[in-house]
Amino acid sequence: MILKTDSIIIIPEIYPFENMKREKVTAIVPAFNEEKTIKDVIEALLKTSFVDEVIVVDDGSVDNTFKIAREAGAKVIKLKENQGKGKALQIGTEQTNASIFLFSDADLIGIKPSHFQKLIEPVLAGKADMCVGAVDRRNFNKFLAWFLPKVESPFAGMRALKREFWESIPREYKKGYFVESALTYFAKKNNLKIHSFILDGVSHLIKEKKHGFSFGFRARAKMLLQIVIVNILLRIH
């Protein structure tokens, strides 16, 4: 489609998928007590072009995450105990034969099909091996709006990537919050093509609001500690 204004013609980048056999895409959403946001995330994924199935891995939730996710139309895998984000992603990938994975956080606010499609299309077209989406921080002051996406992108949970790359990641890094840092590190180490985007208008429900201040603060501290540890381990890998 060509978009016209009074004096400008905009030709969007077009990916040649029509009339072509394309690779299967499965969206995988690890979720732990995400009843407040999981429905909107699933609905956006189900409306996204090229997403063939949505798998939610309920990572030991004690709220209504499982029920809401199933009613929203996702295939839901229920884990009896919390095993961590990386393990939940691994379990999800084992339940599909897709050659491309779309990983999404379950706590996103303002997510739309167009955001997910922006991540998927370059990988499907062979223009990227992995696409990474960071939440939008542009409501911060100018420095933080510039700085935070650069800091957060290596750890962002919204990614499209090829199965063969995922399966090349050593299993010891597919646990907890090690996984995003490992994906970024091994992609760069192997000179893969990485595209990073800011997902316009997308934010997430912070842990302190999801779980209460005390539990949420401890969960955040645990996440940050794991990120520090894995980055040290990767440097001596």
Give counts: helices (H), strands (E), the chain.
9, 11
119 burial class (0-12, 13-18, 19+ CB within 10 angstroms)?
buried
Query: What range does the domain containing 37 cover?
Result: 23-235
Q: Which of 226, 231, 235, 133 is nearest to 176 (CA)?
A: 226
Out of 58-62, 197-201, 231-235, the most confident range is 58-62
Q: Please give the average per-residue pLDDT across 92-114, as a whole number.
A: 97
**CA 108 to CA 162: how far, in whole Å?**
23
Q: Which of 151, 149, 26 is nearest to 97 (CA)?
A: 26
Q: Is 167 inside any structural domain?
A: yes
Strand-pairing partners, residue 102, are 27, 160
Band the pLDDT of 21: cuts 50, 70, 90: low
Q: Is 10 inside any structural domain?
A: no
Q: Give the pLDDT of residue 17.
A: 53
Which of 97-106, 119-128, 144-153 has the least mean pLDDT? 144-153
Q: Please give the average per-residue pLDDT across 210-217, as a whole number.
A: 57
Output the average pLDDT for the chain.
Answer: 82
Q: Is 16 inside any structural domain?
A: no
| Proportion of the chain above pLDDT 90, given as a percent | 57
**CA 36 to CA 140: how far, in whole Å?**
24
The 10 Å Cβ neighbour count of residue 221 is 11
Q: Token match 């794991």: residue?
A: 226
Residue type, 173: Y
The 10 Å Cβ neighbour count of residue 25 is 22
Task: Name the token pair of 187.
Answer: 């992609």
Band the pLDDT of 181: cuts 50, 70, 90: confident
Q: Give the pLDDT of residue 224.
A: 59
Give 11's DSSP letter: -
Q: Is 8 inside any structural domain?
A: no
Q: Is 101 inside any structural domain?
A: yes
Band the pLDDT of 185: cuts 50, 70, 90: confident
Band the pLDDT of 235: cuts 50, 70, 90: low
Q: Is 6 inside any structural domain?
A: no
Q: Which of 163, 180, 8 is nearest to 86 (CA)?
A: 180
Q: Percent helix, strand and coil across the chain, each rounded to 5?
A: 40, 20, 40
Number of structural domains, the chain?
A: 1
| Helix, strand or coil, per DSSP, at residue 131 | strand
Band the pLDDT of 3: cuts 50, 70, 90: very low
Which of 22-26, 141-145, 160-164 has the least mean pLDDT? 141-145
Q: What is the pTM of this model?
A: 0.79
CA 59 vs. chain centroid, Å, equals 16
Band the pLDDT of 135: cuts 50, 70, 90: confident
Q: What is the domain-level CATH number for residue 123?
A: 3.90.550.10
Q: Is 3 inside any structural domain?
A: no
Band the pLDDT of 60: cuts 50, 70, 90: very high
Q: Which of 134, 141, 135, 139 is nearest to 194 (CA)?
A: 134
Q: Give the pLDDT of residue 173.
A: 83
Q: Is 82 inside any structural domain?
A: yes
| Helix, strand or coil, per DSSP, at residue 186 | helix
- What separation in angstroms does the CA of 13 have from each of 121, 141, 228? 10, 31, 38
The 10 Å Cβ neighbour count of residue 40 is 16
Does 10 score more than 50 pLDDT?
no
